[in-house]
Amino acid sequence: MTGARSTSWKAIRTIARRELVSYFTSPVAYVFLVIFLLLTGFFTFTAGAFFERGEASLASFFVWQPWLYLVLVPAVGMRLWSEERRSGTLELLLTFPVATWQAILGKFLASWAFLAIALVLTFPVILTVNVLGDPDNGVIAAGYLGSLLLAGAYLAIACMTSAMTRNQVVAFILAVVICLFLILAGFNPVTDLLTRWASPAFVDAVAGFSVMTHFDGFQKGVIALRDLVFFLSVIGFALFATSVIIRGHRAG
Amino acid sequence: MINIQNLVKTFGPKRAVDGVTFAVARGEVLGFLGPNGAGKSTTMRMITGFIPPTSGRVTVGGHDVVEEALAAKRLIGYLPEAAPSYPDMTVHGFLSFAADMRGLAGDAKLKAIGRVVELCFLASVLHQGIDTLSKGYKHRTCLAQALIHDPDVLVLDEPTDGLDPNQKHEVRNLIRELGRTKAVVFSTHILEEVDAACTRAIIIDRGRIVANGTPDELRGMSELAGAVTVHAAGADPVAMQDKLAGIAAVARVERVNGGVRAFPREKRAAGELARAVAELATREGWRLDALRTEEGQLDEVFRRITLPDTAKGADAAAGATA
């Protein structure tokens, strides 16, 4: 059994490596990284009033991320499957001796790793806050973990919409809409509006589907099991849906 | 090696492949012919496991392509239609990826890449980006990918599409060579390729097999097959026509540019017919320029069995007036 497992990981690694390298052989990766870092900087220091807050934390850094990722993560994920379908390489990929789930996981992990690289490159904010004050680095670490999971959830959704169409723009827009819904379900102005006419239990149930609700804990430094489970199940569900969609296309 | 039974694929109301059954053994090169949209690519996609059949069964090397997909896929090298590849990779990068996917590593991988680079004449572009290559090179890069693990079964969808005549020639030779030790299925529009590379050919039309045989057998299905054409200097074609019609074995006689062609009543009598015509020519003192027994033409067979009935009638009428 270990033999089978190691060959199956090898196939996933091979696909992931190819995918990750392909990000960096096109200018897309560098454009994305520059824009991501510029926007992160702008939101943290200008819009987030990092200095005016007068506290040694990265709250102003994390609080914007659901919105920032809303646009940027689907841009990373939109090409995953639509490009393979458009160029016909899907036929090549799926006739290699790999299972569909291995191909999906390999491609997802590659783009997630790419987002992790982007996140790692935000390290100057950690240095800044540590030079200027004495922050709780445990809270920051939890925030980063939450941020990575948040990006993974958006990415899995973009992966799913990308499998639906061979048009990257359509995949992008669908992913943004779905992710926006996942934000708004727990966005304070929206939940406030809901409480006026719905029961608190209903509002809570809706908010339970939101990334905002589950990202909140991480920002405060709390790594709760239910938040972890939430993000991992969004990822798991979206990737499973991807496999169903891909199988559906082939069944004709 | 490949065994296909009652294969059916429907897309909505359309039956793209409608009850196809055939087998390909090791050492065979099967040419897959048919008009556009006849179901060639769909059949090949089902053999390679890219799309599942609606019903019916495909086994490759004894492995069912649905039930034991991975085992079957390991045996197959596949060149999809339009020869896709990743444009952002170099030829070497792409072949290295294909080798990794096939589980080749270390020395075996290096050797495999070296072998296919030589087979497909890719040495001069090995470190070029695939997006900078001409169509012919892109095509051969994808072909190289299909050969990298030296598979027992090769499925090639239009392997000579987009190649120049020299490259076509090379690829046909390569296919024939590979066919000695493997089971090869390839699709084509080009009928000469059947002669150049196949041991057997299948003609498929609207999802059904309409002919299956060696190139000679298929040619034998031609109306022309067995007819004897005579060209004689100075002889009156009308008189020749009358005389030839007098031979017992001749069904009918036609004028063809500058000569006369006699069709036999029975195709088996072909050799006898040629001798009878030669004797007649000697008796009549015709000065023969040429006398030959026609082998038949594949394109005529192809057209006759793949054209819809109405068009066939129109075609025959056009032939009669010409």
pLDDT tens sequence across B78-137:
999 889 999 999 999 999 999 999 999 999 999 999 999 998 889 999 999 999 998 889
Residue B322 has pLDDT above 70, yes or no: no
What CATH number did the domain enclosing B181 receive?
3.40.50.300
Domain extent for B150: 2-213
Name the residue in chain B with its Cα closest to that of A4.
B70
List pLDDT tens digits, range A68-104: 999 999 999 999 999 999 999 999 999 999 999 999 9
More confident residue, A25 or A163: A163
Domain membership of residue B45 (yes or no) is: yes
Domain membership of residue B39 (yes or no) is: yes
Tell me, yes or no, whether B89 and B17 share the same domain.
yes
Q: For residue B261, give the H/E element and its range.
A: strand B259-264
Residue B316 has pLDDT above 70, yes or no: no
Task: Give the model's pLDDT for residue A48.
Answer: 74
Cβ separation of B101 and A97 shorter than 8 Å?
yes
Task: Give the model's pLDDT for residue A252.
Answer: 58
Cβ separation of B11 and A252 shorter than 8 Å?
yes
Tell me which chain B residues have a C-beta less than 8 angstroms from the C-beta of A250.
50-52
Name the residue in chain A with its Cα closest to that of B53.
A251
Residue B179 has pLDDT above 70, yes or no: yes
Domain membership of residue B309 (yes or no) is: no
Enter the DSSP assignment of A209: T
List pLDDT tens digits, range B52-70: 999 999 999 999 999 999 9
| B101 inside 8 A of chain A by CB | yes
Tell me, yes or no, whether B168 and B285 share the same domain.
no
Q: Which two tokens stand for residue B105?
A: 């590593």
| B55 inside 8 A of chain A by CB | no
Question: How close B102 comes to chain A (CA, Å)?
Answer: 7
Task: Give the model's pLDDT for residue B127.
Answer: 93
Give the integer Cα–Cα distance in Å for A209 and A205: 7
Per this entry, what is the length of chain A?
A: 252
* CB-CB contact of B221 with B296 (8 Å): yes
Domain count, chain B: 2
Domain edge (last residue) among B213, B246, B266: B213
* CB-CB contact of A9 with A100 (8 Å): no
Q: pLDDT tier at B194 (50, 70, 90 boundaries)?
A: confident
Cβ separation of A89 and B82 shorter than 8 Å?
no
For chain B, positions 107-146, list CB contacts with chain A under 8 A.
142, 145
Tell me, yes or no, whether B193 and B234 share the same domain.
no
Residue B138 has pLDDT above 60, yes or no: yes
Task: Give the model's pLDDT for residue B197.
Answer: 85
Buried b (16+ CB within 10 A) or exposed e, B10-30: eeeeebbbbebebebeeebbb
Domain membership of residue B304 (yes or no) is: no
- Listed in sequence order, the residues at least 6 apart from A36 whose beta carbon sits closer than 8 Å to its beta carbon are A68, A72, A118, A121
Give the integer Cα–Cα distance in Å for B206 and B32: 13
Domain edge (last residue) among B213, B240, B271: B213
* CB-CB contact of B85 with B141 (8 Å): yes
More confident residue, A173 or B136: A173
Residue B153 has pLDDT above 90, yes or no: yes
Cβ separation of A88 and B52 shorter than 8 Å?
no
Domain membership of residue B220 (yes or no) is: no
Tell me, yes or no, whether B151 and B235 share the same domain.
no
Question: How close B94 comes to chain A (CA, Å)?
Answer: 9
Tell me, yes or no, whether B204 and B268 share the same domain.
no
Domain membership of residue B218 (yes or no) is: no
β-pair partners for B18: B8
Domain ranges of chain A: 2-180+217-251
Cβ separation of A94 and B50 shorter than 8 Å?
yes
Q: Point out the residue among A7, A88, A98 whose CB comes nearest to the CB of B84.
A: A88
Tell me, yes or no, whether B77 and B197 share the same domain.
yes
Give the integer Cα–Cα distance in Å for B200 and B197: 9
| B15 inside 8 A of chain A by CB | no
Tell me, yes or no, whether B95 and B32 share the same domain.
yes
Cβ separation of B80 and A95 shorter than 8 Å?
yes
Cβ separation of B89 and A11 shorter than 8 Å?
no
Tell me which chain A residues have a C-beta less than 8 angstroms from the C-beta of B88.
22, 25-26
Tell me, yes or no, whether B163 and B260 share the same domain.
no
Domain membership of residue B253 (yes or no) is: yes
List pLDDT tens digits, range B301-314: 777 777 765 444 44
Domain membership of residue B172 (yes or no) is: yes
- H-type alpha helices, B48-121: 69-75, 91-101, 106-119
Tell me, yes or no, whether B50 and B174 share the same domain.
yes
Task: Give the model's pLDDT for residue B247.
Answer: 77
Tell me, yes or no, whether B238 and B99 share the same domain.
no
What CATH number did the domain enclosing B277 receive?
3.30.70
